[in-house]
Structures are given as structure tokens and as C-alpha cells.
Amino acid sequence: MDPFLQAAIDEARAGLAEGGIPIGSVIVHQGRVIGRGHNRRVQRGSAILHGEMDAFENAGRQPASVYRDCTLYTTLSPCSMCTGAILLYGIPKVVIGENQTFMGEEELLRSRGVQVEVLQDETCIRLMRDFIAAKPELWNEDIGV
């Protein structure tokens, strides 16, 4: 398995262990993780701390030249908010663990020149399917339903 997807999965599992939603993300620059995070909406009472947003926050302030040379890994297809951040900071490549349980804004990313790779990883799919079955109301809240 790709070690960076594994790092995103580890983040997703950490979020689940904290009582949150199991979505994780890492931002990789030149073969090194510069930001990692997981969905912390429940844990922090946050409106915006999805996995990708948490990874951006934990990467800290970076120059545009760094973001333009990064790959973002995420266990789940990015929602419109996270897609906006990816586009804002000019991330050129996004690797997605799965999009079967939720289809985010992949077409928007592609239309703006972002390389999108979807892996349909069984671990990512299982994490989300099990979570959605166990806590549908929390999942619906997270995606604005």
C-alpha cells in the first residue's frame, strides 16, 4: 500500500477513536508529509474541520510555491469546501482513497486542471460504510443534509 494513503487511513482511524468521523488526509511535499489531519468537527465543535482542512491547518502557513508542488491524499472524495481549499492553494494532484460512499467535487477539480486519482481502497470504503451505518445522523450533519 502507498505509505501516504496509509498515513491518511491512520488519521481517519485516529478520528474514529476520538469519537469523530473517520476521514483522514495528508499533504505531501517532495516525498515528505508536511501536514496531516482528520475530521475533527465533533471533537472540536467545528463547522469546518474536515480531514483536508485539518491537514491544511496543521501544515501551517506555506508559500504558494510549496503548495504548487504538493499531492494531497484523502481517504474520501473531497466535498465542495475542501475542494475549494485545494483549488485556492493550487494543489496539482489529489489521491482519493474512495468515492463510493460519497462523491465529492472531483469533476470540478479535474475541470481546473487538478490530477485526480481514485483508488477505491477497501479499507477506506469499509471505514466509511461502517461509520455511516452506525451513525447516519452524524454523517448527514457532516455533509450538510
52 given a catalytic annotation: yes
Lookup result for grid cell 501544515:
59
**Rounded distance, CA 118 to CA 125, Å?**
12
Out of 11, 52, 98, 105, the active site residue is: 52
The residues annotated with a catalytic role in the active site are 52
